[in-house]
Structure 1
Amino acid sequence: MDPLHQAYFSSPIGTIIISATAAALISVLFTEEAPQVNSPDLPVCLQDGLQQLTEYFSGNRKTFDLPLHSGGTAFQETVWQQLSHIPFGQTLSYYSLSSQLGNVAAIRAVGSANGKNQLLLIRPCHRVIGSNGQLVGYAGSLWRKKWLLEHERKVMGTHQLNLFG
């Protein structure tokens, strides 16, 4: 297995730790750790990840273009891929996501897969909400989910949070 590299990113909503092999990102997660000084010889994918996160938080990036390796089951990978199709500044319910995947009965499995997403922000699971419009289930904490959705709304210039995209 390739050696694991890590980098820290100080975001407006806390420290993000990014883990990667030399070729691809494997996780982007919020941490309560204080940011550490990044190695000057980070792999290109980590350097690009840091740059794209800077652009996202400054409002200059709406999608990410990074090599990813998530290592999930076939079903999880399908769900995670679908997350990437939720437009910036919009939301989708777990029910709607299940429907897009062709199986509304799999709503709990979709929720479980969404909760196991290790590439927060990159695969925008924060854009998935409850059918009643409630902010539910975010590994980075619900207050961060709310902040991210409001950030995207501001970047898009919309005047109110549209929870049903």
Structure 2
Amino acid sequence: MLSMLDGFSGYNQVEVTTEDQHKTAFTTPWGTFAYRRMPFGLINAGATFQRAMDLAFRDLMGKVLQRCRRHGISLNPKKSMFGVTEGKLLGHIVTREGTKIDPERVKAIQSLTLPTSKTGVHSFFGKVNFLRRFVPDFADKTKDILGMMKSKVPFQMEYRREAGI
């Protein structure tokens, strides 16, 4: 049995330690500012958020709601599920057996049109790269696409490359 909880603006609930705040600094015409709470978009935000959640919930699931209250974690009741056998999480289907591709995600990828520019190739690759862990030999199958993304290589879509897509 699984339970899935969704925190409101989850990353923003994680405090940035005082000694790390300078790493989030940015300058505007009004001065230099740094985040006190973790913003979206930081390269390690996902891993940091997961560590914070692991720390908050490291023992039994039966204490989850008490822990949420104690750690000041607000949950989104519309997205939280209790006692389910599977659920959607970050574009995947999570079950007791493991993680699998969300069929809706597969349909979305299959409906993509072939890229017609180098920018389109970057966008396309970003969308299919999400599924790399489920595709055997993904790197080998996408090497031609990656080659087209190099700055000194002119864009040229060929049938051979389309087969890799």
- Tell me the TM-score normalised to structure 1 length: 0.28
Which structure has the greater CA radius of gyration? Answer: 2
